[in-house]
Structures are given as C-alpha cells and as structure tokens.
Chains A and B, each alone.
Chain A
Amino acid sequence: GESVGLHLPTLSVQEGDNSIINCAYSNSASDYFIWYKQESGKGPQFIIDIRSNMDKRQGQRVTVLLNKTVKHLSLQIAATQPGDSAVYFCAAQGNNRLAFGKGNQVVVIP
C-alpha cells in the first residue's frame, strides 16, 4: 500500500521566517498530492494540492514542490505567522485512496 512519511517531526521557526516541510512517498503511481493543516481540536484543512504533471504550484504564502524522480514533496510557507502553528500532513493519492504521511508539527516562535 501507499506509504507516505515526513523527514522532520517538529519544526520550530521564528515568526516572519520561511518554513519548509518535507515529505517522501513510496508509490510511484501516485498522481495527486495534497498538503493539509490540522490545528488542535480541528479537522484537517486543505492548504494546497498538486498533480503529478506539475513540479511546482503556488498559493497565497505557500508553495508546493514535487520531485517525482525521488518521490519527494515539500511545502514552503513564506513569512510564517503564529496562526501557522499546527500539524501539517502530506497526502498522496494512489490505489484509489488518499494516504496520509506521519505529520510534522510546526511551532512558530513570536
């Protein structure tokens, strides 16, 4: 089955700095990827997605990069704000289901 993991369990970042969260996936047939943000006591919230025919996609303050050669996904958050403190999950679609990575806690230091 799909296996999706993250390199770093916790990222502490100074407010205003940029954040980068990494994710590796195992299923080379995965063709759709999503980053979710989950705040304490809430459900996962969509941040940005990317399909396998792209290698970069930008949103508001966020950029997702996809490297299919090494099966790697990253999320960049520009000018990190206190409201960005949360757990971030990457998810990959393969085998007709969306599988989530282990999650990465981002702590923003004011």
Chain B
Amino acid sequence: DTEVTQTPKHLVMGMTNKKSLKCEQHMGHRAMYWYKQKAKKPPELMFVYSYEKLSINESVPSRFSPECPNSSLLNLHLHALQPEDSALYLCASSQSGLAGDTGELFFGEGSRLTVL
C-alpha cells in the first residue's frame, strides 16, 4: 500500500466551484510534489515544495493554488477550472528536499478530477 494518501479519490466540479485536493505523508519526507496526468500520458510536474517552501512552479495557471501547511500535508486549491483541467492529480513525496537530488518519488493513488 502507498504511504502517500490523497483525498478525495474522485471529484466532480463545475467551472465556478472552489474545491481542494489533499495529500498527506508520514514518512518524514522533506519534499512534496503535485503532478498532473492525462489519460495515456506521463505525469507532468506542476509544483514542488521543499522544506515547506515552494521551490518549483512549472508555469501553472493561477486557478491552481498549492499550499503546504506543514511538512506532512500538501493541498491543491482549485478555482474556476476549465474542462481541459480534468485529469488525474498525483501527489508525491521524496526523502530529500535538496534541489537536484530528489531521489525516489513515492506517489499516492491520485485524485481523479472531472470539470464540467
């Protein structure tokens, strides 16, 4: 079983809704990640938090807002999304928070988002 827990597993929202995706890990990892994955495609990096600070934002639209309340939690706040934002959103963590040495990423099972 994965040690990265994501909720909810499924989410359906309208374009005017505000919702949040949540991720939790208790492995003491110092870096946490959000990836977006479309069907039949590889995961695409969105954000990286290292030592609870945002270290990478891959030019993600502002309708996606990440938050790292503490070293174990990572949220992704969603607002005014578009249907093309429908995807599987994967959270991951890695032991090292050092740039350039991520080491193995541990993934959660993902939150499948559908935007109507």
Contact = CB atoms under 8 A, between A and B. Distances in A.
Contacts of A8: none
B108 A43 contact: yes
A36 B92 CA distance: 13
B108 A97 contact: no
Interface stretch (A52-60, A64-72, A98-106): A98-106
Chain B interface helix/strand/loop/mixed: loop
A42 interface: yes
B56 A43 contact: no
Chain A interface helix/strand/loop/mixed: strand
Interface in A64-104: 89, 93, 96-103
Contact of A96 (B4, B90, B99, B109): B99
Contact of B100 (A43, A49, A96, A102): A96
B27 to A, nearest CB: 13
A97 B2 CA distance: 22
Interface stretch (B13-21, B42-50, B61-69, B71-79): B42-50
A102 B2 CA distance: 23
B107 A45 contact: yes
A102 B43 CA distance: 9
Contacts of B48: 97
Nearest to A105: B40
Contacts of B4: 43
A93 B31 CA distance: 15
Interface string B74-101: 0000000000000000101000000111
